[in-house]
Amino acid sequence: MAIILFIMMIIFSIFVSLNNNKPLTFFGIMPLTVLSNSMAPVFEAGDVIITREVEAGDLKKGDIIPFYNEEKNLITHRITSIVKEGGERHFYTQGDNNNTMDEDVTTASEIIGKELFHIPNLGFLSHYTKGPMGFLLFIVLPLAGYVSLTVYEKIKPKKKEEKLTKS
């Protein structure tokens, strides 16, 4: 049951983040939908990456990080090098499927986490939940079913007790 609730939380948070362009976190864990193939073959468009908030000092070369670029777009690329300038760490990044490094240098304040793992193709499902029918099928109905079962389980023992007291 806990796994089902966890999956529902992931789908719900992806739904919310797709609408707000801001990731929703659960205890520092953020699911993000991959929109391009810049990191192929590690993960591809339609995959969901699960990230965790981290301190910039804990990051190292080779880590995959989601960050905001200067246009405030959320990008997820690999750290190719880290340079300390003026007491601040600057992160140089590049997509695994790109020929050149990213133009913008990333600072610690623009980084929102570090990739933990990814789930292939779950992003297509979450993209479907953006629509009213998908939201109804994957969020409202399972939640209503869970609430109904919970209420039924609480009422069921009372009916048995009433039958026993009448006998």
- Tokens linked to 146: 């869970």
- Tokens linked to 129: 């939940």
Residue partners of 80: CB distance under 8 A and separation at least 6: 61, 92, 93, 94, 101
Residue by residue, pLDDT tens for the chain (167 residues) are: 666 766 666 666 665 555 545 666 777 888 888 989 999 999 999 898 999 999 999 999 999 999 999 888 899 999 999 999 888 999 999 999 999 999 999 999 999 999 999 989 877 766 666 677 777 777 788 888 888 888 888 887 766 666 656 65
- C-alpha to C-alpha distances, 131 to 15, 19, 30, 122, 135, nearest whole angstrom: 9, 11, 21, 16, 6
Q: Which one-letter DSSP state was computed for residue 134?
A: H
Given a contact cutoff of 8 angstroms between Cβ atoms, the answer to whether 116 and 50 are in contact is yes
**What pLDDT score does 9 carry?**
67
**What pLDDT score does 135 carry?**
73
Given a contact cutoff of 8 angstroms between Cβ atoms, the answer to whether 106 and 85 are in contact is no
Residue 13 CB neighbour total at 10 angstroms:
20
Please state the pTM of the whole predicted model.
0.65
**What pLDDT score does 102 carry?**
95
**What pLDDT score does 14 carry?**
60
**What pLDDT score does 38 carry?**
96
